[in-house]
C-alpha cells in the first residue's frame, strides 16, 4: 500500500560494482523532493503489488535527488532482479516519501560507521551528514573483493576520504576489519552504526556487547535475513476490517490477511524493514522479526505481520 506515493524519474543509472547499480531519482518537473534524514529509505514500487525498500545514500543536504544503491540478490523474488533488468534512464516509477528507522544521533562526540557490502548505502548518507556537521566519525567498509565495492570511487574523491577505510577479504588478514580492536574502548559519548548481511551485523553487535558497549549506543539495520514464518495455527481478529481470520501453520499473518482482502503494507517480507508493523490490541505475539528492540518486544504491543506469529490462540490487531 503506497497511497502517499511520489512519481519520480530515473535520471541516471550507473553500474557501481559487481551486481550493484545506482539509480538517481528526480522530480519529473524539476521541483525539489521531500527532505530526508541520514539513514532514511524509500519504498520502490517494482510492479503493482510488489514494493521493496532501499536506503537513500546521497547527502541529505541535496533536495533535487535521491540516489539508491541496489544489489541484485541471487535469491531475488522479483524485486532486485526486475529493477536490474527493466529499470532504465527516463523511466518514471512510484516511491514512498522518505521514512527513517535508522536514525543518526547527531550529538555524538564520535560515530563509528561499519558497512558490510551493500550495507554501505545508509552509512554513506550518514557520512555526508556528519561531514556537513563537522562531526568526528570514521567509516569502515567491508567487502569480499574490490569488484564488489560500490561507490568506492566517490568515497575516494569525497571531502571525508581520510575518514574512510576499505577492508577487503581478498587482500588478506591485514586488510580485514578487526572488530575487537575497533570496539575495545567503549565510550558513553560515541555511537556505532552497522548495516549489512545478518551474519555481519550479528558478529559486530555481539563483539560490541563483549567489549561492554551500551546497547543503546549500537544501532543496526539489516538488508537481508533468514526467517521462518511457519508454526502453530491461530486466529487473528482484525478490528478495523471487522474480520476474523484463521492463520494456518504454513502461512504468515500478512498472507492470511491478504487472502481475505485486507490491505497489508509489505516491503522486505523478512522482518527487517518495519513496513508492516501493526499495533496489537490483545493477545501475545511470538516475535520473529529483526526490527523491534528487546524493550519493544517485551511490551507486546506491536507485531511484524510478515514473519511473526502468535503465542496465544487469538491475536487482536488494529488493522
Q: Map out the domains of the chain as residue ranges.
A: 6-95, 110-224, 234-317
Residue range 110-224 in CATH 3.40.50.80: yes
pLDDT value of position 1: 46
At 258, give phi and psi (nearest 5°): -60, -35
What does pLDDT average to over the chain? 92
The residue behind cell 549489512 is 196
Domain formed by 234-317, architecture: Roll (3.10)
Angle CA 139–142–144, to nearest 5: 160
Query: Under a CB-based contact definition with an 8 Å cutoff, are residues 95 and 43 in contact?
Result: yes
- pTM for this structure? 0.77
- In whole angstroms, give the CA distance from residue 34 to residue 129: 17
Length of the chain (residues): 319
> Which residues of the chain fall short of a pLDDT of 50?
1
pLDDT value of position 50: 85
pLDDT value of position 292: 80
Just give the CATH number of 6-95: 2.40.30.10
Question: Computed over its alpha carbons, how large is the radius of gyration of the chain?
Answer: 20
In sequence order, what DSSP letters do the residues of 34-65 get, joined into one string? PP--TT-EEEEEEETTEEEEEEB-S-TT--S-
One fold for 110-224 and 234-317: no
Three cell numbers, residue 1: 500500500
pLDDT value of position 75: 65
Amino acid at each position: 500500500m503506497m497511497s502517499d506515493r511520489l512519481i519520480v524519474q530515473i535520471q541516471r543509472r550507473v553500474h557501481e560494482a559487481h551486481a550493484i547499480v545506482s539509480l538517481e531519482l528526480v522530480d519529473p518537473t524539476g521541483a525539489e523532493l521531500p527532505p530526508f534524514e541520514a539513514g532514511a529509505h524509500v519504498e520502490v514500487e517494482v510492479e503493482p503489488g510488489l514494493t521493496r525498500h532501499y536506503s537513500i545514500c546521497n547527502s541529505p543536504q541535496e533536495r533535487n535527488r535521491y540516489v539508491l544503491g541496489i544489489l541484485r540478490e541471487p535469491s531475488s523474488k522479483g524485486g532486485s532482479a526486475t529493477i536490474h533488468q527493466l529499470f532504465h534512464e527516463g523511466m518514471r516509477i512510484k516511491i514512498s516519501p522518505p521514512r527513517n528507522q535508522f536514525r543518526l544521533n547527531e550529538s555524538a562526540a564520535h560515530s563509528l560507521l561499519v558497512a558490510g557490502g551493500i550495507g554501505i548505502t545508509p552509512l554513506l548518507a550518514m557520512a555526508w551528514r556528519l561531514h556537513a556537521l563537522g562531526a568526528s566519525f570514521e567509516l569502515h567498509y567491508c567487502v569480499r573483493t574490490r569488484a564488489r565495492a560500490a561507490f568506492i570511487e566517490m568515497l575516494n574523491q569525497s571531502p571525508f576520504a581520510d575518514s574512510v577505510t576499505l577492508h577487503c577479504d581478498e587482500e588478506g588478514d591485514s586488510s580485514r576489519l578487526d572488530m575487537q580492536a575497533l570496539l575495545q574502548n567503549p565510550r558513553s559519548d560515541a555511537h556505532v552504526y552497522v548495516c549489512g548481511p545478518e551474519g555481519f551485523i550479528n558478529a559486530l553487535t555481539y563483539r560490541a556487547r563483549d567489549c561492554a558497549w551500551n546497547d543503546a549506543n549500537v544501532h543496526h539495520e539489516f538488508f537481508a535475513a533468514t526467517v521462518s514464518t511457519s508454526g502453530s495455527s491461530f486466529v487473528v481478529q482484525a478490528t478495523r476490517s471487522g474480520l476474523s481470520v484463521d492463520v494456518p501453520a504454513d502461512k504468515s499473518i500478512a498472507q492470511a490477511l491478504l487472502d481475505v482482502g485486507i490491505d497489508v503494507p509489505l516491503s522486505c517480507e523478512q522482518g527487517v524493514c518495519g513496513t508492516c508493523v501493526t499495533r496489537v490490541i490483545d493477545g501475545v505475539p511470538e516475535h520473529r522479526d529483526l526490527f523491534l528492540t528487546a524493550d519493544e518486544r517485551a511490551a507486546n504491543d506491536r507485531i511484524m505481520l510478515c514473519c511473526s506469529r502468535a503465542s496465544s490462540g487469538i491475536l487482536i490487531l488494529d488493522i
